[in-house]
Structure 1
């Protein structure tokens, strides 16, 4: 994240905090249901590995309504950085929901959902997929599907010599390959080599500065049921398990309300499956989103799941006391504005503590 973004993000958070209605925020957080997250942070402080936070949800997780990097995961990253953490929030998972000048798709496009939306793919010679995080890094981790006769792609930084070619043929799996480069700000280029090539995610970090790795896995239009697919190793829930976050923040139900509605028993079943999968590696916080449409039953279901599954709860609906009470935080009738996303991130800051 750039220094300009850090400053803007902190300024937005300060304004949001000053004007917030400050209803109930993070609740049901206990020593037992935050143990894995606290252990992850301890590892990061000890310099043994990065602690991982995954944000899963819909377009309000992705950041629609603002321009990247003004989304909740990266704005929380700015708050963490101000508290002394090394932060790696400029990661590409699937297709970006926001307008983001850090990504140039070139001859690549989106196809087949994974955690974060459609995977980037290419099947012909063309301009490379170019991703330029603003923060210095020396490590690149690329996740990609392997399956049957899939193709291959080459990797370089800054248009230099190839770091290697990734061959995606073989038995079905979600694979990762790590490349090491000189520490600095680079453009990661992926160039099609053969067949049908896919990439699920690109992550970067400075190996010498362990900290918080934050993943924005928002998928536009997603309902809860869209997050329980694991028929293939790269499907949404399978990819979340493979990422193995220490903490997963789950913000789903808006599309279940406005594009349905989904029957509450079905919604509850899907959400339970997501929480169960996320708890395999880490702890969980469920988000009650802003009040949109016929929300009452869905919000009640999420609050009940928090109690019944013993996971944390972030009640944004109570914090904002209804959309009508916080019009400056909405860009339209569904998506928050940059200021709204900043306030949502502000309410999550206590998770950064001990």
Structure 2
């Protein structure tokens, strides 16, 4: 797909000479044609519509290790996590991409009550603070119940649209302001379950029920804006995610459903209410899903059959809307490497049987614990930077 800024994934020019650039060690295309991914890249490059990549995984995708502050190294880590790195590399190659969303707190509250606002400085919580309800089976590891205090979210890029996904849990009224004044409009444009939330002025009214409601909140101008929210109740309908973007700019949006400590089974969790990870994946309907699970499964002694079953659930749902890049994790210290050889074979065989692209970071890094892992499991900013580059090369091969 030379015309879309990716090249073929195999060649580049260096001083006028065409030289071979092989795919990363550990990558297999597996006969995948990746039509949804190619179409997404084409429309983003043409400026006709946005694209969407959803990430499924654990703390290594959240970015634990690439921030500051022992023992978690999470302070400021969001800006260095792999999705942010990949977004920057795609943009530099001519395909605009943004890691500009918040999905839950990615399990921060679970990690010794680590303050989410230190991980993601775009987010602020005023007194009296609301709370994150932490369930590993939820996208992002949680949902946020604003309480009667004020919380706010300020994307780093210029925006005029905020896309807010709300859990239809129980009756609540969420009041939204942009820069302290009522938005130009709020519209519920998509919902699953019943009943849908409704809008009255600058409020979203949730009656309680099942599934998600997505509110499109529009500012009167495009710029750096702050979305704030208060709630009529200390608990009730909560916020799953917020995505900010400029309606006049076409880009690929990253939605990071991952959570600290998550297993493949938790990332694949199914619920009839649609609140959990599998329901959220179907609701978000990505063009590409990047799946990197297994470390916590190995540590927990999960059988390879159960691991494969969880990955299959994710793949089945992801393929309803798009393509899949299945990633096997990099090598870590025990117990995160228990039965690693059989796990690797299981993931590789599963990817091939589903005709989806596969990347083994374990093979790429030589099957050893890289010296840039700050605690034997989580990478430094430099390590995650290399992982982002590897995944960019995988995507280049997938669209070639």
TM-score above 0.5? yes
- Identify which of 229, 236, 242 aligns with 1:196: 236
Distance 2:26 2:347 in 1: 14
Superposed counterparts of 1:1-354, under 5 Å = 24-28=25-29, 30=31, 32-66=32-66, 67-96=77-106, 97=108, 99-106=119-126, 107-113=129-135, 114-123=138-147, 125-126=148-149, 128-147=150-169, 149-161=170-182, 164-181=202-219, 182-194=221-233, 196-231=236-271, 232-258=273-299, 260-292=300-332, 293-294=337-338, 295-324=340-369, 326-328=370-372, 330-350=373-393, 351=395
Q: CA 1:70–1:242 in 2, change beyond 3 Å: closer, same or farther?
A: same
Deviates more, 1:279-288 or 1:313-322: 313-322
Q: CA 1:33–1:150 in 2, change beyond 3 Å: closer, same or farther?
A: farther
Distance 1:90 1:108 in 2: 22
- Measure how far apart 1:103 and its partner are: 1.4
Specify the alignment match of 2:72 in structure 1.
Answer: none
Residues 63 and 70 in structure 1, CA contact (< 8 A), matched pair in contact too: yes
Q: Deviations over 1:231-262 (max 9, x none)?
A: 2212110001100000001000000011x210
User: Which blocks of at least 5 consecutive residues in structure 1 are unaligned?
Assistant: 1-21
Residues 142 and 177 in structure 1, CA contact (< 8 A), matched pair in contact too: yes
Deviates more, 1:176-185 or 1:226-235: 226-235
Distance 1:218 1:110 in 2: 15
- Measure how far apart 1:25 and its partner are: 4.3
Pick the structure with more helix per residue: 1
Distance 2:230 2:59 in 1: 28
CA RMSD of aligned residues (A): 1.9
Residues 33 and 312 in structure 1, CA contact (< 8 A), matched pair in contact too: no
Count residues in correspondence.
326
- Measure how far apart 1:23 and its partner are: 5.6
Deviates more, 1:211-220 or 1:246-255: 211-220
Specify the alignment match of 1:17 in structure 2.
Answer: none
User: Who wins on radius of gyration, i.e. which is larger?
Assistant: 2
Distance 1:283 1:23 in 2: 19
Q: Deviations over 1:192-224 (max 9, x none)?
A: 123523000000111111111111221111111
- Measure how far apart 1:29 and its partner are: 5.4
- Measure how far apart 1:112 and its partner are: 4.9
- Measure how far apart 1:117 and its partner are: 1.3
Specify the alignment match of 2:9 in structure 1.
Answer: none
- Measure how far apart 1:170 and its partner are: 4.2
Distance 2:46 2:230 in 1: 37
Residues 116 and 216 in structure 1, CA contact (< 8 A), matched pair in contact too: yes
Shift >4 Å, 4+ stretches: none
Residues 23 and 318 in structure 1, CA contact (< 8 A), matched pair in contact too: no
Q: Deviations over 1:46-68 (max 9, x none)?
A: 33321111111011111111222
Residues 329 and 360 in structure 2, CA contact (< 8 A), matched pair in contact too: yes
Q: CA 1:208–1:29 in 2, change beyond 3 Å: closer, same or farther?
A: farther
Q: CA 1:323–1:150 in 2, change beyond 3 Å: closer, same or farther?
A: farther
Deviates more, 1:149-158 or 1:206-215: 149-158
Deviates more, 1:304-313 or 1:239-248: 304-313
Q: Deviations over 1:318-338 (max 9, x none)?
A: 1111343x302x121111111
